[in-house]
Amino acid sequence: MRLTANRIAGILRENGYKLTPQRHIVLKVIASSNDLLTPDSILEKSRQEDPSLGRVTVYRTLEVLNKLSLVCKVHSEGRCGSYMMKRPTEHHHHLVCSGCGKAVDITNCSLIDIEKKLSQESGFEIKGHLLEFYGLCHDCVENTPTIHSNKGGTSR
Amino acid sequence: MRLTANRIAGILRENGYKLTPQRHIVLKVIASSNDLLTPDSILEKSRQEDPSLGRVTVYRTLEVLNKLSLVCKVHSEGRCGSYMMKRPTEHHHHLVCSGCGKAVDITNCSLIDIEKKLSQESGFEIKGHLLEFYGLCHDCVENTPTIHSNKGGTSR
DNA sequence: CTCTAATAGATACTTCATTTCAGTTGTAAT
DNA sequence: ATTACAACTGAAATGAAGTATCTATTAGAG
* Residue A156 domain-assigned (yes or no): no
How far apart, in whole angstroms, are the C-alpha atoms of residue B140 and residue B137? 5
* Residue B148 domain-assigned (yes or no): no
Statement: residue A137 has pLDDT above 90: yes
Chain B partners of A117 at a C-beta cutoff of 8 Å?
none
* Residue A155 domain-assigned (yes or no): no
* Percent of chain A surpassing pLDDT 90: 78
* Residue A153 domain-assigned (yes or no): no
CB B78 within 8 Å of CB A80: no
Residue B73 maps to which CATH number?
1.10.10.10
How far apart, in whole angstroms, are the C-alpha atoms of residue B18 and residue B9? 9
* Residue B15 domain-assigned (yes or no): yes
* Cβ <8 Å between A155 and B132: yes
Q: What Å value separates CA A1 and C1' D15?
A: 41
* Residue A152 domain-assigned (yes or no): no
Buried-exposed string A116-139: b where 16+ CB fall within 10 A, e elsewhere? eebeeebebebebbbbbbbbbbee
Read off the pLDDT of each residue in B17-45 and give the average, rounded to a whole number.
Answer: 96
The number of domains in chain A is 1
Residue A88, pLDDT score: 94
* Residue-number span of the structural domain to which B38 is assigned: 5-143
Closest CB to A154: pick one of B98, B130, B155. B130
Q: What's the pLDDT band for B154 if we cut at 50, 70, 90?
A: very low
Statement: residue B39 has pLDDT above 70: yes
Residue B83, pLDDT score: 96
* Residue A154 domain-assigned (yes or no): no
pLDDT digit string, tens, across residues A82-126:
999 999 999 999 999 998 999 999 999 999 999 999 999 999 999
Residue A3, pLDDT score: 78
* Residue B14 domain-assigned (yes or no): yes
Residue B1, pLDDT score: 57
- List all nucleotides in chain C with at least one atom under 7 A from a protein Cβ: 6-11, 16-20, 25-28
Read off the pLDDT of each residue in B67-86 and give the average, rounded to a whole number.
Answer: 90
How far apart, in whole angstroms, are the C-alpha atoms of residue A106 and residue A29? 23
Chain B partners of A129 at a C-beta cutoff of 8 Å?
131-134, 156
Q: Which nucleotide is nearest to B18 (CA to C1')?
A: D27
Q: Which nucleotide is nearest to B13 (CA to C1')?
A: D28
Residue A150, pLDDT score: 35
B61 against B80, higher pLDDT: B61
How far apart, in whole angstroms, are the C-alpha atoms of residue A83 and residue A27? 12
